[in-house]
Amino acid sequence: MKHILGAGVSVAALMLTATVAFADCGAPAGSVRILSNDFNALKVVATAAAECASDTVTVTANQTTEHKNIQGPALTANPAEYTVAMVANNSIVPLMNDGLIRSLDDLVAKYGQELQPNQLIKIDGKVMAIAFMGNGQHLIYRKDILEKAGVAAPQSYDDVLAAAKAIKDAGLMEYPLAASVKPGWDLAAEFVNDYLATGADFFEPGTATLTINNENGKKVLALMQAEIAYMDPATYLTFDATEIQKQYEAGKVAIINEWGSIAGAILDGKDSAEGVAENTVIAGAPTFAGGTIPAAALWWDGFTIAKNISDADAEASFVAMLHGISPDVVKANPDAATWLVKGFEPGPAAVGVIANATNGARAYPMNPYIGLLHTALSAELADFVAGKEDADKALADTEAAYNTAAKEAGFLK
Amino acid sequence: MPHKTFLAFILPSIIAMVLFIALPIISVAVQSLYVEHDKVLVTVENCQPLGGCTTETVVDSEATAKLKAVAPLGEFNGLGTYFNHAHLAIDEVAEIVSDNTGFADIVARLYNLPFYRALSFTLAYCFIVTPLAMLLGFLIALAINMVPRLLKGPVIFFSLLPMIITPLIGSLILYWMISAEGILGVGLKWLFSDPTLSLKSSLPLTWITLIIYGIWTNAPFSFVVFYAGLQTVPGDTMESAMIDGASRWERIRYVVMPHLRPLATFVALVQLMDNFRVFEPIVGLSAQANATSLSFAIFNDLRNQNAQQYGSAATTSMLTIIGVIILLMPVLIRTWREYHQKS
């Protein structure tokens, strides 16, 4: 019984970060309740924010990959279940749509002297979120294989395809490429990345009318098809971000399009075959179709403060979160993320995301209906990547599925 | 039993059924008739790190909240959701029927519509898995009935394993086994000497995998019921059949099978209902590219990127309920007739 009790207590302590005071970070009295996704960089932030706990401040955190599904209901309650919701470009949208988060203008004026201007997510002139890290997909490749095949570092997707051909022709690898084309979220993200690089918009400005069923959409699908020709036909339909990481680490593929947040894990050489990690080069995303925009959406992660809570709790939460993303925390964890915080010196793993940003990659759209399009793409491009449908049909199906969903959600008539 | 006692006896169940079955179904039915309000959109300046400032369209949450407060259920849409592209798609179907190049074309184009695609796999799964799983269960029951008493316990335990394993976990295990590096995946490649063979990318192979998995996981239920039934086969009838010189097959065909018939009806009923809501293996085997089901469609609506499509999910739920009723109709009619013949 004692054991069970002990285990229960320690589980509870893990789930609700202990409310022991480490250091006083100047937070006014109040309750800080954090909801966030569950990955390393966010754990660093939440753990640091928990240092603000004192006699008058309580800090708890629920870090779960299910955060997107509970944030809406949890913040709708009054008082809200959580005072802080950590979000990204896409997950802030439903909170905005329902007006569940508050403007941070006054809190930024009072406490935000250390914040950099590009950390402030401004919507309609009001600061709605504080970003602290960037992310995105970019190239990771094996320089030894490329050298053996006699090709230079790829800059555009034409280069990538030419390199793949050279590697295959030289007999180095049968299927040198991998990208996340598993039907579902990953596949749709791949389409969004490439479509952003065409410079075109997904919707008619100011409306929810879809504008991807055109030459640009077809160009993107043609590119995907060309890439798939160099992917292992037996497994490419199961390629998501973790799967291509495994394929790459096992030395089976030479060029992958992978998330910046995974680059560190590839560089550290753990679980890698011999010769993979030391020959790995991290580079920005390639350009596409003669354009200059890198084919990768820029993502940010940040925090928002709930609307349905007392001003005292909001203030305590804001200060605790600022402590969580303070330059000291970032300095102690330089490899955890591509931080946007002052004083961050990017390490080797951050090169790709920063290259994307400096080369003018576009942000993942933040409009209210991009999620519906993402879902439509997830399902309707499946037949296309499986080689059972042509591009025209895939785009028409996507449009039909999107229109149906957008009508149901009240965005289209 | 006097009516009053009977009523008192059954009343708690009736209340529970109304509360936990009837009311939720009514609520889902009502939900399926509504869609969300028109969102009030405004264009604003939007600044993000790295990407800079752009004009972006956002929802005017206050104006939308006002609309919501007036009619919290949403906007009445009648049967609109039932007939739209994601469900019965009557416009598309009418077009396919009026303008096509033959039967194959009709099938191919219907299969391209999400609802019919989900329905076709659901029905195929239902009608292939149910009889085969029942047959397998029956054969296992017959075999175990013959096993010496000492071995019966362990053998029964192993036969029940597929039922004990959670379907999602079972399908995940199978998924890893059939992956290109897994033991079954490698084995099959070797067997057919085809290095590119993949159970995951081809449609027929995916369906076969799911169906085999379904038979494996459903057989124990039939087995348990049939095995229990076998214990009640009257010994003297069997003996007299033996004396009459009936072979083993004839004894099974003319004594055992008629005896188990009511049980078979019951098993078929339960299994059909169960299989009509096939879901876990599709998720576990990541098969959504090649096979979706009605339950999977509901899951997809509720696990959307940003917002749950309650109306769409409710509509698919109602269509599933209607589907189950149609499916069970023959069995129900037969049970009703048998009941009336007896009384």
Per-residue pLDDT for A96 more than 70?
yes
Contact: A96, B59; criterion CB under 8 Å = yes
Q: How far apart are the C-alpha atoms of B122 and B323, rounded to whole Å?
A: 10
Tokens of B145: 């009935």
Shortest distance between the Cα of A355 and any Cα of chain B, in A, equals 11
Tokens of B203: 């449609």
Q: Check whether residue A17 and residue A105 sit in a common domain.
A: yes
Q: Check whether residue A9 and residue A50 sit in a common domain.
A: yes
Note whether A82 and A33 are within 8 A (CB).
yes
Tell me whether residue A62 is in a domain: yes
Contact: B112, A393; criterion CB under 8 Å = yes
Say if A397 is an interface residue toward chain B (CB within 8 Å): yes
Tell me whether residue A364 is in a domain: no
Confidence of residue A323 (pLDDT cuts 50, 70, 90): very high
Say if A73 is an interface residue toward chain B (CB within 8 Å): no
- The secondary element (H helix, E strand) that includes residue B45 is strand B41-48
Tell me whether residue A363 is in a domain: no
Which residues does residue A299 pair with via DSSP β-bridges, in sequence order?
A: A135
Q: What is the pTM of this model?
A: 0.83
Contact: B311, A408; criterion CB under 8 Å = yes
Say if A182 is an interface residue toward chain B (CB within 8 Å): yes
Per-residue pLDDT for A21 more than 50?
no
Shortest distance between the Cα of B195 and any Cα of chain A, in A, equals 8
Quote the pLDDT of residue A128. Answer: 93
Low-confidence ranges of chain B (pLDDT < 70): 1, 49-51, 304-307, 342-343
Compute φ and ψ for B179, nearest 5 degrees. -65, 165
Q: Check whether residue A207 and residue A178 sit in a common domain.
A: yes
Shortest distance between the Cα of B306 and any Cα of chain A, in A, equals 5
Say if A183 is an interface residue toward chain B (CB within 8 Å): yes
Contact: B58, A362; criterion CB under 8 Å = no
Quote the pLDDT of residue A154. Answer: 94
The residue among A206 and B119 whose pLDDT is bigger is B119
Quote the pLDDT of residue A13. Answer: 41
Domain extent for A90: 2-134+300-357
pLDDT digits (tens, 9 = 90+) for A279-316: 999 999 999 888 899 999 999 999 999 999 999 999 99
Per-residue pLDDT for A15 more than 60?
no
Quote the pLDDT of residue B50. Answer: 64
Q: Among all residues of chain B, which has the CA nearest to that of A404?
A: B85
Q: Check whether residue A353 and residue A376 sit in a common domain.
A: no
Contact: A203, B305; criterion CB under 8 Å = no
Quote the pLDDT of residue A22. Answer: 43
Tell me whether residue A81 is in a domain: yes
The residue among A370 and B57 whose pLDDT is bigger is A370
Quote the pLDDT of residue B62. Answer: 82
Q: How far apart are the C-alpha atoms of B315 and B292, rounded to whole Å?
A: 16
Q: Check whether residue A122 and residue A28 sit in a common domain.
A: yes
Quote the pLDDT of residue A90. Answer: 86
Name the one residue in this structure whose structure tokens are 């416009």.
B91
- Mean local confidence (pLDDT), A361-366: 88
Number of domains in chain A: 2
CATH number at residue A151: 3.40.190.10
Which residue among B46, B49, B53 sits closest to A300, beta carbon to beta carbon?
Answer: B49
Instruction: Report DSSP state, residue A101.
Output: B
Q: Check whether residue A223 and residue A278 sit in a common domain.
A: yes
Q: Check whether residue A200 and residue A69 sit in a common domain.
A: no
Per-residue pLDDT for A261 more than 90?
no
Q: How far apart are the C-alpha atoms of A336 and A41, rounded to whole Å?
A: 5
Note whether A405 and B309 are within 8 A (CB).
yes
Q: Which of A318, A335, A357 is the last residue of a domain?
A: A357
Q: Among all residues of chain B, which has the CA nearest to that of A360?
A: B51
The residue among B336 and A87 whose pLDDT is bigger is A87
Residue of A408, A412, A413 best to disrupt the B interface, most CBs of B under 10 A: A408
- Mean local confidence (pLDDT), A95-112: 92
Quote the pLDDT of residue B296. Answer: 92
Lowest mean pLDDT among A269-273, A319-323, A393-397, A399-403: A269-273
Q: Check whether residue A188 and residue A172 sit in a common domain.
A: yes
Contact: B286, A124; criterion CB under 8 Å = no
A96 neighbourhood in chain B, CB within 8 Å = 58-59, 61
A357 neighbourhood in chain B, CB within 8 Å = 50-51
Tell me whether residue A317 is in a domain: yes
In B, residues 114-173, which contact A (CB 8 Å cutoff)?
Answer: 114
Quote the pLDDT of residue B178. Answer: 86
Quote the pLDDT of residue A301. Answer: 93
Note whether B75 and B37 are within 8 A (CB).
yes
Confidence of residue A152 (pLDDT cuts 50, 70, 90): very high
Q: Check whether residue A107 and residue A228 sit in a common domain.
A: no
In B, residues 57-76, which contact A (CB 8 Å cutoff)?
Answer: 57-59, 61-62, 64-65, 74-75
Confidence of residue A24 (pLDDT cuts 50, 70, 90): low
Quote the pLDDT of residue B305. Answer: 59
Calculate the CA A54 to chain-centre distance.
33
B196 neighbourhood in chain A, CB within 8 Å = 233-234
Tell me whether residue A265 is in a domain: yes
Q: Check whether residue A321 and residue A274 sit in a common domain.
A: no
Q: Which of A297, A295, A308 is nearest to A373 (CA)?
A: A297
Per-residue pLDDT for A14 more than 70?
no
Tokens of A99: 């007006």
Tell me whether residue A362 is in a domain: no
Tell me whether residue A338 is in a domain: yes
Q: Which of B299, B283, B288, B298 is nearest to B169 (CA)?
A: B283
Predicted complex ipTM? 0.80
Quote the pLDDT of residue B304. Answer: 66
**Which letter, b or e, does each residue of A62-101 get, where b requires 16 or more Cβ atoms within 10 Å of its Cβ?**
bbeeebbeebbebbbeeebbbbbbbbbbbbbbbbbbbbbb
Note whether A358 and A118 are within 8 A (CB).
no
Inter-chain contacts counted by CB atoms under 8 A, chains A and B = 192
Per-residue pLDDT for A20 more than 70?
no
Domains, chain B, with CATH or none = 79-112 (no CATH), 119-342 (1.10.3720.10)
Quote the pLDDT of residue A5. Answer: 42
Name the one residue in this structure whose structure tokens are 């055992």.
B256
Note whether A162 and A156 are within 8 A (CB).
no
Confidence of residue A39 (pLDDT cuts 50, 70, 90): confident
Per-residue pLDDT for A17 more than 50?
no
Calculate the CA A408 to chain-centre distance.
27
Contact: A235, B304; criterion CB under 8 Å = no
DSSP string over B191-234: HTT-TT--TTT-HHHHHHHHHHHHHHHHHHHHHHHHHHHHTTS-
Q: Check whether residue A230 and residue A350 sit in a common domain.
A: no
Q: Check whether residue A185 and residue A45 sit in a common domain.
A: no
